């Protein structure tokens, strides 16, 4: 037997021993169930209120989606110059309103001087919301208006900015003061923001997965050491694909489910794609077209 062969066999043996040893001592912990995630049927979350049927993040969109029978909303939040939490996705106003400028540079009063959804085109290709008085909504207003809704809240401001440094504590105080702990999920692309928020929440609020947590979970899933994975999130809200990696396989969904972590996929607007994901085990559809998603989930419930 050659030297290289002996080294290769030794490496294999060491790897096998490491795997066996880790398997013997592993004690993976499932996430405790949070009330907001305790459901038996798949849920429909209207993305930005239902951005395909009315201007995103507008009260018109939230109201229309609620009337369709969605289970909740998936929203983004930002902090204004006067430290009000608003429901808004972009850092700048230009894409959705008749005004321009950076959100964090303006007060709530100034932001509400602009018409929300000015550039929105409805399903008939019309600018049907111009002149309808749609204005930016605060998070408090949304939570008060729809007390029955599951609300997935994503913190958009970067932790490196002034407003981003304040947002986690501001959000916690609002959630606590309104006593809505059992119907919200708090998430961010920035894992650091989720960690900051959880310093206040102390795991009393359901947490979504940041980008690093998703990478960690997928790496564990594709390795021989998935049994060591300990989730730090209560729910994954993810796309079906990240770079060249597919995140929608039934096995990956089952891997997370084994840790009591349901998976919601965004942004899914086609009925066939919704059906395929739900058949694979997805527990939620985040969509701009709640009119389509509610119908698809109803089909499944009726079977």
For the chain, 303 residues long, give each residue's pLDDT as a single digit of tens: 555 444 444 444 434 444 344 444 445 678 899 999 999 899 999 999 999 999 999 999 999 999 999 999 999 999 999 999 999 999 999 999 999 999 999 999 999 999 999 999 999 999 999 999 999 999 999 999 999 999 999 999 999 999 999 999 999 999 999 999 999 999 999 999 999 999 999 999 999 999 999 999 999 999 988 889 999 999 999 999 988 889 999 999 999 999 999 999 999 999 999 999 999 999 999 999 999 999 999 988 777
0.95 cut: is pTM over it?
no
- C-alpha to C-alpha distance for 2 and 5, rounded to whole angstroms: 5
CATH T-level fold of 33-302: TIM Barrel (3.20.20)
Contact between 303 and 286 (Cβ < 8 Å): no
Contact between 55 and 134 (Cβ < 8 Å): yes
End-to-end Cα separation, the chain, in angstroms: 62
CA distances from 87 to 30, 32, 141, 202, 251 (A): 32, 29, 10, 24, 35
């Amino acid at each position: 037997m050659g030297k290289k062969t002996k080294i290769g066999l030794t490496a294999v043996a060491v790897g096998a021993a490491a795997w066996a040893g880790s398997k013997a001592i592993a004690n993976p912990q499932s996430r405790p169930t949070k009330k907001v995630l305790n459901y038996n049927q798949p849920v429909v979350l209207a993305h930005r209120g239902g951005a395909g049927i009315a201007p995103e993040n507008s009260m018109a969109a939230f109201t229309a989606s609620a009337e369709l029978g969605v289970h909740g909303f998936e929203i983004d939040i930002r902090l204004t110059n006067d430290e009000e939490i608003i429901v808004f996705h972009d850092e700048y106003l230009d894409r959705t309103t008749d005004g321009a400028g950076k959100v964090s540079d303006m007060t709530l009063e100034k932001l509400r001087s602009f018409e929300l959804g000015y550039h929105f085109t409805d399903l008939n290709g019309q600018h049907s919301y111009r002149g309808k008085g749609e204005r930016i909504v605060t998070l408090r207003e949304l939570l008060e208006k729809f007390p029955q809704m599951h609300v997935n809240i994503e913190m958009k401001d970067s932790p490196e900015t002034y407003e981003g440094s304040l947002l986690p504590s501001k959000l916690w105080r609002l959630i606590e003061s309104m006593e809505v702990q059992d119907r919200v999920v708090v998430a961010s692309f920035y894992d650091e923001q989720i960690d900051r928020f959880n310093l206040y929440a102390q795991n009393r609020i359901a947490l979504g997965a940041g980008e690093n947590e998703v990478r960690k979970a997928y790496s564990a899933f594709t390795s021989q050491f998935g049994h060591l994975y300990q989730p730090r999130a209560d729910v994954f809200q993810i796309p079906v694909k990240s770079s060249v990696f597919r995140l929608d396989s039934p096995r990956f969904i089952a891997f997370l489910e084994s840790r009591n972590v349901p998976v919601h996929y965004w942004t899914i607007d086609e009925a066939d794609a919704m059906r395929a994901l739900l058949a694979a085990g997805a527990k939620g559809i985040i969509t701009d077209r709640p009119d389509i998603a509610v119908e698809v989930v109803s089909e499944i419930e009726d079977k």
